Structure 1
Amino acid sequence: MLDYPDYPIYAYKEMLDEEFPFKIEIRQPSTMNRILHAHEHLQLCYMMSGSCLHWASGRQYVLTKGDLFSIPPFQEHRLEPREAMDFVMVQVDFMPHAVNENFRDFAQMPTFIDFAYIRPLISETDLLPKITLPAATQTVVENLLSVLLTEWKEREEGYRLAIKAELLKLLVITGRQYKRYSQTQSQQERQKVAIHREAFFEAITYMQTHYNEDLHLDVVAAKALMAPSYFSHMLKLTKGKSYIELLSAIRMQASMELLTGTDLSITEIATRVGYNHISHFNRTFKKHTGVTPGDYRKHQI
């Protein structure tokens, strides 16, 4: 469990299998989580029947049959029953690499990223990105979730591949429905989402052009208009690397170009790409390439 002053934040390794970080469950009043909490992974939920209350970031939302909603990483939330009302909700928990090890599918799904990761951070009028699916789409999603539940329960040979395929279908449907929903939003709401998406990618560009500086996660995350932990998670989602991993990769690429394209000493190259200690640079370079900077230069020239 990650430390937090007010409520627990669960690391995904506590709740999901590290090798295949996916889980699907049915929630009812007797199995709902009424404790305020957050988690490191993404959660997609669909209301099969009935109604309940959902608290997210201090606000209350009524969920009813046909609602599809997401809980992004690190957002505090909890469920609460409505008086004298039952419900059945399907809850899908996963990390991006359960779908695709290289995260390319998510990076190419901007509407899904907006729905599940960006919009919950910025919307003032409807913090929870809830979509009420049309009747025909409800049937499709319910059939899809039924397949996922069966595959997860029976776990026959090839179940992981089957789950990935069905989960990708769910993400595509979610992205398409959000695109339709977003077309009904005000220009101001659409502009907010666009600004935050642009700020995120501008922060990545900043890393790529200022890698030689002493870059701190909190400074770059602020340029992305995100909390540091959330920014690092979004990098993992779209780039397949955490903040430190991405910064190291950028620096290593620059150092390889300097090693083969200049006569600069290895110490000077280390300084130019942002490393104050040559020993740290040498260790990172060998970890990244499998050889020392000297050997890399020798074999590339």
Structure 2
Amino acid sequence: MPDYPVYAYREVLEDDFPFKIEVRNPLNMNRSSHAHEHLQLCYMMSGSCLHWAAGEQYVLTKGDLFSIPPFLEHRLGPRDAMDFAMIQVDFMPHAINESFRDVARMQTFVDFAYIRPLVSDAGLQPKMALPPAAQAEVEHVLNAILAEWERQEDGYRLAIKADLLKFLVIAGRQYQRHAQTQRQQERQKVALHREAFYDAVAYMETHYDEDLKLDEMAAKALMAPSYFSHMLRLVRGKSYIEYLSAVRIQAAMELLDGTDLSVTDIATRVGYNHISHFNRTFKKHAGVTPGDYRKHRS
């Protein structure tokens, strides 16, 4: 267990609309190490401060955009007597419903927000310094979100969702341009991390009949178990257990349709050692028992 608190998103955000935006400054900065289940995107409006992420210290200045992915230890700190203003956006993917599925497929945004901050390299900082034109664009969108959040007039959630999507697209585009100027070695490290994740997912999809453990799959993905499960929810819409079950049940359906194998044999072939567990999981996913599924399909 970590020696710092890890906040569930329901401790910080409302469940029906898991989103929050606020302005941080020296008086309300969080100086204690912590992590959280949700994604956090921050933009430096003015001034400068210090930021510790995964044990490394970084200097943040006006125009810096950075991400705090789920379960990453971090904290803020003052930089001498300097003042600063930082806009902090906290949200869970389902704050913008299925619209986020398109952004989740946008490689550049996922690399920047969810993967790049995890890559351990002294020369690969999690922040991204935006050029002046991009700063103006980001500040316009964030100020619009702030205004909607503060007024909370009729339709404010829809307005925030639209502007939040725009903000995420801008961040992804800027990272694409930013990455083109980085060293090839740095780009390769981010790509390696991403490829390791998708290799682990592919392994689950082809070795579902084995006794797959979350910590083993997370190790293949070069991620902590909790973070690997979160990434699965982001890109596949399900947690580790939910996704593995869905893959197994889909394989079971195909065997029920295309073979004369018994339900017990099929359960074993798709990774279930106990027929009762298989039956419960199948009915949860398909709405009927395996026997009824085969009967109605024949």
Same fold per TM (> 0.5)? Answer: yes
Provide the aligned length of Structure 1 versus Structure 2. 298
The residue matched to 1:91 in structure 2 has which SS? strand
CA contact (8 A) 2:124 2:186 kept: no
Aligned counterpart, 1:159: 156
Aligned counterpart, 1:297: 294
Residue number among 3, 6, 10 corresponding to 2:3 in the alignment:
6
**Scaled by the length of structure 2, what TM-score is found?**
0.97
Aligned counterpart, 2:237: 240
Whole-angstrom CA distance in 1 between matches of 2:189 and 2:241? 28
Displacement of 1:102 in angstroms is 6.7
Aligned counterpart, 1:194: 191
Whole-angstrom CA distance in 1 between matches of 2:108 and 2:114? 10
The residue matched to 1:55 in structure 2 has which SS? strand
Residue identity in the other structure for 2:141 = L
The answer to which of 102-111 and 136-145 deviates more is 102-111
Change (3 A) 1:127 1:19: farther
Whole-angstrom CA distance in 2 between matches of 1:178 and 1:5? 31
The residue matched to 2:192 in structure 1 has which SS? helix
Change (3 A) 1:229 1:127: farther
Q: Check if 1:51 corresponds to 2:28.
A: no
Q: Check if 1:94 corresponds to 2:88.
A: no
Whole-angstrom CA distance in 1 between matches of 2:156 and 2:247? 37
The residue matched to 1:200 in structure 2 has which SS? helix
Q: Check if 1:280 corresponds to 2:285.
A: no
CA contact (8 A) 2:47 2:85 kept: yes
Q: Check if 1:33 corresponds to 2:37.
A: no
Instruction: List gaps (5 residues or longer) in structure 1.
Output: none
Q: After superposition, what is the alpha-carbon deviation per residue over 1:138-167, rounded to whole angstroms, capped at 9, x for unaligned?
A: 111111111111111222222211111101
Displacement of 1:126 in angstroms is 4.0
Whole-angstrom CA distance in 1 between matches of 2:220 and 2:60? 34
Q: Check if 1:42 corresponds to 2:39.
A: yes
Whole-angstrom CA distance in 2 between matches of 1:177 and 1:299? 52
Q: After superposition, what is the alpha-carbon deviation per residue over 1:54-78, rounded to whole angstroms, capped at 9, x for unaligned?
A: 1112221111111111111111111
Q: Check if 1:116 corresponds to 2:113.
A: yes
User: Sequence identity, in percent?
Assistant: 74
CA contact (8 A) 1:102 1:240 kept: no
CA contact (8 A) 2:215 2:224 kept: yes
Residue identity in the other structure for 1:15 = V
Aligned counterpart, 1:133: 130
Displacement of 1:128 in angstroms is 3.8
**Scaled by the length of structure 1, what TM-score is found?**
0.96
Displacement of 1:107 in angstroms is 2.6
Q: After superposition, what is the alpha-carbon deviation per residue over 1:22-72, rounded to whole angstroms, capped at 9, x for unaligned?
A: 110111111110111111111000111111111112221111111111111
Aligned counterpart, 2:143: 146
Whole-angstrom CA distance in 1 between matches of 2:161 and 2:50? 30
Aligned-pair Cα RMSD in Å: 1.2
Whole-angstrom CA distance in 1 between matches of 2:185 and 2:19? 36
CA contact (8 A) 1:203 1:224 kept: yes
Residue number among 52, 58, 77 corresponding to 1:61 in the alignment:
58
Change (3 A) 1:228 1:215: same
CA contact (8 A) 1:111 1:175 kept: yes
Residue identity in the other structure for 2:130 = L
Q: Check if 1:78 corresponds to 2:75.
A: yes
Instruction: List gaps (5 residues or longer) in structure 2.
Output: none
Displacement of 1:125 in angstroms is 2.0
Residue identity in the other structure for 1:110 = Q
